[in-house]
């Protein structure tokens, strides 16, 4: 063997050794119980800070940070009804370090927009985390103290009542239009630039009513600036058991609630998905989490990845039907 041949063999051996080390590191970072996670995780919330989705996401992120011993950093990327942040995660590496925390718009947007991602194929469900029902609230000047009285008022004088919405295709808009359909009324819409302005408009009396997130309407109910007529959940809220569901108060079968959960990019290794699912469950099953969510009017709902995938499909079908009935197009 001459010197040149020996040097070549050493170089090949060194390259193979580097490849082996890199492969071993990659494998370790992808298998829970070994090295994963080896760096901070990024949890994208596709809405502005301070909203209901953001608050719940931050609670989950804080718990996971503690249990995983790695920082889970919340990254708010709001805009376009959640589409901007969602698209970021759809394009992210499938390595378990970029995650997405979604709410109901994730299931509604495919019926409204031409998206640059596929809502089902481009994401791997991790777990459903919670449901947050919308609450039907009216300005105290409205002469209705029950859902049935509101329906009667709307039928007697169709032009008198208007509801505030966060814009066409927003959760408040669809919840109100579903109510119109199922209650047989035609309460008109006053669109605002977001759920916050729509809620404040009802407080001010510009609109008669609004379907607001339980988290955001609660302070106004307690202060007397709004009157709650019913919750849009399937069952009464544990934090306000005196408040009837809209279904039992006059519109059988009515349900409109935000479904919140965590997703990862498609093709994320199953071992990582299972680890993340376990961490979410560990965080949200504590009594502290149950109490904190109850104070917010939120119900913890944990699932397997497969179950959450089926929930998303079901929500897409349900809200898609409402969108088609209204012939809504926001392109």
Local confidence band at 48 (pLDDT 50, 70, 90 cut-offs): confident
Asked if pLDDT for residue 49 goes beyond 50, the answer is yes
Q: Is 330 strand, coil or helix?
A: coil
Instruction: Look up the CATH superfamily of 133-249.
Output: Periplasmic binding protein-like II (3.40.190.10)
Q: What is the reported pLDDT for 34?
A: 55
Asked if pLDDT for residue 18 goes beyond 60, the answer is no
Which of the 8 DSSP states describes residue 245? B
Local confidence band at 229 (pLDDT 50, 70, 90 cut-offs): very high
Calpha distance 130→181 (Å, rounded): 26
Asked if pLDDT for residue 20 goes beyond 70, the answer is no
Asked if pLDDT for residue 306 goes beyond 70, the answer is yes
φ, ψ dihedrals at 111, nearest 5°: -85, -15
Q: Are 324 and 111 in contact (CB under 8 A)?
A: yes
Q: What is the reported pLDDT for 17?
A: 42
Beta-carbon contacts of residue 212 (< 8 Å; ≥ 6 apart): 134, 135, 137, 172, 195, 198, 199, 202
CA end-to-end span of the chain: 70
Asked if pLDDT for residue 31 goes beyond 80, the answer is no
Asked if pLDDT for residue 227 goes beyond 70, the answer is yes
pLDDT digits (tens, 9 = 90+) for 74-97: 999 998 889 999 999 999 999 999
Is the model more confident about 310 or about 18? Answer: 310
Local confidence band at 236 (pLDDT 50, 70, 90 cut-offs): confident
The verdict on pTM exceeding 0.85 is no
Domain 41-131+259-326: give its CATH architecture. Answer: 3-Layer(aba) Sandwich (3.40)
Calpha distance 33→31 (Å, rounded): 6
pLDDT digits (tens, 9 = 90+) for 130-176: 998 899 999 999 999 999 999 999 999 888 899 999 887 788 899 99
Q: What is the reported pLDDT for 252?
A: 95
Residue 206's CB is within 10 A of a number of other CB atoms, namely: 15
Q: DSSP string spanning 161-172?
A: -EEEESSTTSHH
41-131+259-326 shares its CATH topology with 133-249: yes
Q: Are 238 and 299 in contact (CB under 8 A)?
A: yes
Q: What is the reported pLDDT for 23?
A: 39
- What is the CA angle 142-194-46, rounded to 5? 140
Calpha distance 230→32 (Å, rounded): 44
Question: Residue ranges per domain, the chain?
Answer: 1-27, 41-131+259-326, 133-249
Which of the 8 DSSP states describes residue 144? -
Asked if pLDDT for residue 26 goes beyond 50, the answer is no
Q: What is the reported pLDDT for 69?
A: 94
CA within 13 Å, CB half, 47: 21
What value does the mean pLDDT of the chain take?
A: 88
Q: Is 121 strand, coil or helix?
A: coil
Calpha distance 263→122 (Å, rounded): 10
Q: Which of 62-76, 231-245, 306-320 has the lowest mean pLDDT?
A: 231-245
Sign, CA dihedral 28-29-31-34, equals positive
Torsion of CA 160, 175, 47, 123, to 10 degrees: -160
**What is the pLDDT averaged over residues 207-219?**
91
**What is the pLDDT averaged over residues 263-284?**
98
Q: Which of 82, 74, 80, 68 shows the shortest CA–CA distance to 54? A: 74
Q: What is the reported pLDDT for 331?
A: 52
**What is the pLDDT averaged over residues 96-112?**
95
Burial class (CB in 10 A: 0-12, 13-18, 19+), 130: buried
């Amino acid at each position: 063997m001459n010197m040149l041949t020996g040097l070549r063999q050493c170089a090949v051996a060194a390259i193979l050794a580097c490849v082996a080390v890199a492969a071993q590191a990659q494998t370790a970072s992808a298998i829970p119980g070994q090295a994963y996670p080896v760096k901070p995780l990024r949890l994208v919330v596709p809405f502005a800070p301070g909203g209901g989705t953001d608050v719940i996401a931050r609670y989950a992120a804080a718990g996971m940070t503690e249990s995983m011993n790695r920082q889970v950093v919340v990254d708010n990327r709001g805009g376009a009804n959640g589409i901007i942040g969602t698209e970021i995660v759809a394009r992210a590496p499938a390595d378990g370090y970029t995650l997405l925390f979604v709410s109901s718009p994730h299931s509604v947007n495919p019926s409204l927009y031409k998206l640059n991602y596929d809502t089902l194929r481009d994401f791997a469900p991790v777990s459903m985390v919670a449901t947050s029902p919308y609450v039907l609230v009216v300005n105290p000047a409205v002469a209705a103290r029950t859902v049935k009285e509101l329906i009667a008022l709307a039928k007697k004088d169709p032009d008198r009542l208007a509801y505030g919405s966060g814009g066409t295709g927003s959760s408040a808009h669809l919840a109100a239009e579903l109510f119109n359909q199922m209650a047989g009324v035609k309460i008109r819409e006053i669109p605002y630039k977001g759920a916050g302005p729509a809620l404040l408009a009802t407080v001010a009396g510009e609109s008669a009513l609004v379907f607001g997130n339980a988290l955001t309407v609660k302070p106004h109910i307690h202060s007397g600036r709004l009157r709650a007529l019913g919750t849009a959940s399937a069952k009464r809220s544990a934090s306000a058991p005196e408040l009837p569901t809209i279904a039992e108060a006059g519109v059988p079968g009515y349900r409109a609630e935000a479904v919140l959960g965590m997703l990862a990019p498609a093709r994320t290794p199953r071992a990582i998905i299972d680890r993340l699912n376990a961490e979410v469950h560990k965080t949200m099953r504590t009594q502290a989490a149950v109490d904190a969510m109850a104070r917010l009017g939120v119900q913890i709902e944990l699932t397997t990845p497969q179950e959450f995938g089926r929930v998303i499909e079901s929500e897409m079908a349900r809200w898609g039907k409402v969108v088609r009935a209204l012939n809504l197009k926001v392109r």
